Structure formats: structure tokens, C-alpha cells
Amino acid sequence: MNIIQGHAIDLISRFERNPDLVVTDPPYAFGGSGGEHELSATVAVTLRETARLLKRGRWMLVMCAASWRSTYYMVESVRGIMDPVRIATWCKPKARTKVATAGWQWASVNVIAFRKGRSEETQPSSMLDHICESPVINGRRAELPASVADWMVAPYAVPGGLIIDPFAGSGAILLAGQRHGMEAIGFEITEAAS
């Protein structure tokens, strides 16, 4: 696993390899102004440039907030390059928010599976459309559990291929790629991810 420190837009613009799989959990800040607007633009540009590099017939999985606004934003980021094929959900049974919600008290994350062009490969029909798992709490941060990373990567893994995570964070997705026989490269702006 190799996490390269730096800004995702700069790193992906210089990246010369074509990945077999892209899986990422980008930061969610869609809307607002100033810093939030900059973050949203960074996510959109990075996803689009990463999608351009992805090999034809391959998959990109992108986590997003469980709102239609966030989901639509991610879909529009790669419109014309990739097709959204399905949406799955990571359900977190213990929400870490102070906001009271009507209905259920579950926090959830959408996972959009995009495909670049047609694929000769078929995905296993036993793939679950959801997983229920609590995040790993590390101080004030919540990290992606290994079980969720494996759930996302396993159906789309290409043994011997390259997986890219342009927003690598703690590296959980990259470690899942390695567990499924892939070379793993990620980008992360903060030093803490290494």
C-alpha cells in the first residue's frame, strides 16, 4: 500500500497509470460557500479526472452522504464518463450527530457503483445492497471499518490490478484492495493518514 501525501487534484493530474478499480470515501461538504465550495469543487474535479484514467469496463465506487443532493452531485461529477449502475447503503446503527431526525435513528452512507462503458464481467448476484456496521472510533475521528471496506472492494476487485483511492484517509480501502490481491495507491492531503 502506498499513500502519497498531497492535494488530490495535483496528484491525479500527474498520475500516469490506468487503474482497474477506484474506491473512495471523499469528504462531504456539498453547498455553502468559501471553504465548503472549494471542497465540493475539489471532490468533483478529482472524481472526474480519476474517472478519465480508469480502464474501460471497470468500476468506481464512491461513498456520499445519504441525501439525494449529495448522491446527485457525485453522479453529475462523472456524467458522460461513467454510468451509475447501483446504489448500496452502509447503515451505522449509532449515529454520532446531535441533530434529532424524524423516523429512524440510523445514520447511513450511500455507495454509488459506477461503470465505465460496458463490461464483459458479471458481478456476483449474492452481493448485498447494504451492510450494518459501526464506524471505528479513533479519538474524535470515525474511520471506515475493514468489514465495510471489504464489502465495497470484494465484488469489483481485479487480482493483480491497481486500485486507487484519491481521498485515502486512514487507508482502510487500500488495505481492502491489498487483501483482495490488488496493488493499492492512495492520495491524502494530511500527514496523519500515513
119-139 residue pLDDT tens: 666 555 556 788 989 888 877
Check whether 117 has a pLDDT greater than 90.
yes
The average pLDDT across 44-51 equals: 97
Q: Whole-model pTM?
A: 0.88
DSSP H/E element including 131: strand 130-132
Are 166 and 24 in contact by the 8 Å Cβ rule? The answer is yes
The average pLDDT across 100-117 equals: 78
Check whether 67 has a pLDDT greater than 90.
no
- Kindly state the DSSP code that residue 155 receives in the 8-state scheme: G
The average pLDDT across 7-33 equals: 88
Place of cell 449529495: 70
Are 62 and 71 in contact by the 8 Å Cβ rule? The answer is no
For residue 163, the cross-strand partners are 21, 184
Are 182 and 21 in contact by the 8 Å Cβ rule? The answer is yes
Laid out side by side, the sheet with 21-24 consists of 2-5, 183-188, 162-165, 21-24, 59-65, 107-115, 83-92, 130-132
For residue 112, the cross-strand partners are 62, 87
